[in-house]
Homo-oligomer: A and B are copies of this chain.
Amino acid sequence: MASKFFAIVAGVGAGTGRSVALRFAQAYPVVLLARKPESYTDIVAEISAAGGQAMGIAADTSDTQAVASALDEIKKLWGDKKLAAAIYNASGGFSRKPFLELTLDELDQSFAGSPRGLFNFSQAVLPFLLASVPEPPPHGPPTLIITGATASVRGSARFATFAAGKFAVRALAQSLAREFGPQGVHVAHTIIDGVIDIPRTKGFNVNDGKPDGKISPDAIAENYWYLHRQHRSSFTHELDLRPYVEQF
């Protein structure tokens, strides 16, 4: 039997995006957005192999037209389905440098992948999420989840451009929550406060190498799924997640 709802994840790769897609695919067909097909091909296969349904679409979320085209494609293929959850997990360029060595281009890259991408994505998915309010998805109200980081709430030295993008994302998330929450859409922002345990961070010495000193992407995915399941009488807007051994 075909599901009447689907989920969409922007910014999939080897880490959080993949885990989130796999988690939501246990309940809904999932669309995976990434700039390049190689970021999602394996995950689509993995979901299919597990008996789920998935499609990948190559789209740069900082490109308004690309996002619109992606949504058109979804309508064509899955026009009978309504949107249950949208997750924005993309991120802009990350530069860790003394401020005077940064370029305006690095600031723009941070904006492109973070707030501009979220802006386009939100404008594309919110009409779908609103349309799902009257007959809500089986597992929870229509949900938009946005991934943030420590840099969303703290502008550290040498993180100027990265933090600027993340702060801006948080501003958008708050504004969306305050506008669309009362209309029945759950908008949540997460503060991932630690290093995520993914292939790229394998060699990082984090929290003295203690077990579970890096954040499990599967654990993040469980939390995102939980946010989707929250009852509308008790929505969480901002969720911090950090390893038990993390300094904060």
Whether A165 sits at the interface, judged by CB under 8 Å, is: yes
Q: Select one of B64, B104, B167, B176 contacting A160, CB under 8 A.
A: B176
With A and B bound together, what is the CA distance between A154 and B98 in angstroms? 28
| Copy total for this chain | 4
Cβ contacts under 8 Å, A243 to chain B: 232-235
Closest partner residue, chain B, to A179 (CB atom): B157
Q: Which of A166-181 contact B (CB under 8 A)?
A: 166-176, 178-181
User: Of A20-28, A32-40, A69-77, A223-231, which stretch is located at the interface?
Assistant: A223-231
Q: Does A3 contact B (CB under 8 A)?
A: no
Q: For A151, list chain B residues within 8 Å (CB).
A: 171
Q: Which of B168, B216, B234, B238 contacts A168 (CB 8 A)?
A: B168
Is B173's CB under 8 angstroms from A155's CB?
Answer: yes
* CB-defined contacts of A82 to chain B, threshold 8 Å: none
Given contacts A107-B115, A155-B172, A160-B176, contact A216 B245 (CB under 8 A): no
- Stretch of A7-15, A49-57, A83-91, A117-125 on the interface side: A117-125
- Which residues A202-221 have CB closer than 8 A to chain B? 212-216, 219-220
Chain B nearest CB, measured from A54 CB (Å): 24
- Whether A164 is near chain B, meaning CB under 8 Å from some CB there, is yes
Q: How far is the CA of A237 from the CA of B213 in the complex (A)?
A: 16
Cα separation A119 to B108 with both chains bound (whole Å): 11
- A residues with CB within 8 A of B: 64, 98-100, 102, 104, 107-108, 111, 115-116, 119-120, 122-123, 126-127, 141, 151, 154-161, 163-176, 178-182, 184, 186, 194, 197, 212-216, 219-220, 222-223, 226, 230-246, 248
- The 6 sampled A-B contact pairs (Cβ below 8 Å) are A99-B176, A111-B115, A158-B175, A163-B171, A181-B246, A235-B243
